[in-house]
Amino acid sequence: MKSGFVAIIGRPNSGKSTLLNNILGHKVSITSPKPQTTRFPVKAIYEDARGQIIFIDTPGIFAKVKDPVSQVINPQAEKTLKEEIDVIIYLVDHTRDRNIEENKILGVVRKHNKPKILAYNKIDIKSPSFLPHYKFMEEEFDKTLSISGLFKSNLNYLLDAVFEYLPKRGKIIDNSNRPTPLINMDSKKFISEIIREKAYIFLRKELPYSLTVIVDEISQRENNLMYIQARIITGAQRYKKMIIGEKGRMIKEIGMAARKELETATNNKIFLELTVEVNPHWYQEFM
């Protein structure tokens, strides 16, 4: 049997969270078109007959960090690689040309003497493609693969490569009684992440990603109804108005989408109460 820790690293929006969700067949990491949707390393367990993998989905690395939220997020991927990692998966979106971000990530990866897998993601997209601009990197990696995290293409080959480089040892974590593959997120955090994802999806470019969600209460009520009380916290009054929307339409859309997904995930009827608050310094308190 083999087991070990595997970090997934790459630029923002390279598809790391989608890849992990589809490997596991279970949503553990939120996704959206916004950069830095993943704010902290998400750890989850994959198991099959060959052994156990503890995957770590890391936040994307920005080349230049200006806002205070990114200043907190940006160092976390490199910090993860300083932990006891057995294999590194470097995910490259071949539809975007190389830039200073890619150079920065490659520099981070080069510091670590661990087995490294280079995975070209989004091979379902034929054009644009900048694959020739990444070819020089291949000689620095133990294995190179082309995959589609979204359409699950060649994920079996990626898992084969990971198990090839993992050390022989027993299970790291006993997950026999775990309801989900997640190992570093409790119920409140998972619910807050689902709500934050829906806010990003519905608000799209209208709102910066500098908002957070705090779940204050989860309780079971009559008729198997789960009551959830949560706050969306943003940094300015003008953003609060956007989140609420005209006649409260936007906050209703966000709440409805989050409720539907949570009902599917928990197999419970849910009443979700959402409010919006302004706190210009929320990142100091909640990150």
- Per-residue pLDDT at 36: 64
Q: Which of 74, 77, 65 is nearest to 7 (CA)?
A: 77
Residues 146 and 203 in one domain: no
The three-state secondary structure class of 269 is: strand
Query: Does 186 appear as a known binding residue?
Result: no
Query: Does 123 appear as a known binding residue?
Result: yes
CATH of the domain at 259: 3.30.300.20
- Per-residue pLDDT at 63: 52
Residues 240 and 274 in one domain: yes
What is the 8-class DSSP label of residue 168? Answer: B
Query: Does 11 appear as a known binding residue?
Result: yes
- Per-residue pLDDT at 234: 93
Query: Does 15 appear as a known binding residue?
Result: yes
For residue 178, list its beta bridge partners.
Answer: none
- Phi (first) and psi of residue 270, to 5 degrees: -125, 140
Query: Does 14 appear as a known binding residue?
Result: yes
CA-CA distance, 45 to 51, in Å (whole number)?
10
Residues 252 and 135 in one domain: no
Residues 192 and 160 in one domain: no
Domain count, the chain: 2
Q: Is 181 inside any structural domain?
A: no
The three-state secondary structure class of 91 is: strand
Are 179 and 187 a contacting pair, CB within 8 Å? no
Task: Decide which of 165, 195, 215 is a domain's last residue.
Answer: 165
Q: Taking the mean position of all CA atoms in its chain, how far away is CA 90? A: 15
**116-174 pLDDT tens trace:** 999 999 999 999 999 999 999 999 999 999 999 999 999 999 999 999 999 999 999 98
What is the 8-class DSSP label of residue 153? Answer: B
Q: What is the pTM of this model?
A: 0.85
Note down the domain range covering 41. Answer: 2-165
Query: Does 16 appear as a known binding residue?
Result: yes
Query: Does 121 appear as a known binding residue?
Result: yes
Query: Does 59 appear as a known binding residue?
Result: yes
- Per-residue pLDDT at 177: 77
Residues 34 and 154 in one domain: yes
Query: Does 61 appear as a known binding residue?
Result: yes
Query: Does 60 appear as a known binding residue?
Result: yes
Residues 101 and 143 in one domain: yes
Q: What is the mean pLDDT of each run of 10 residues along the chain (287 residues)?
A: 94 92 91 73 93 89 55 63 87 94 88 95 96 96 97 98 97 83 88 93 72 95 92 93 94 97 92 96 75
Q: What is the DSSP string of 27-72?
A: --S---SSTT---S-EEEEEEETTEEEEEEEPPPPPSS--SHHHHH
- Per-residue pLDDT at 179: 72
Query: Does 38 appear as a known binding residue?
Result: no
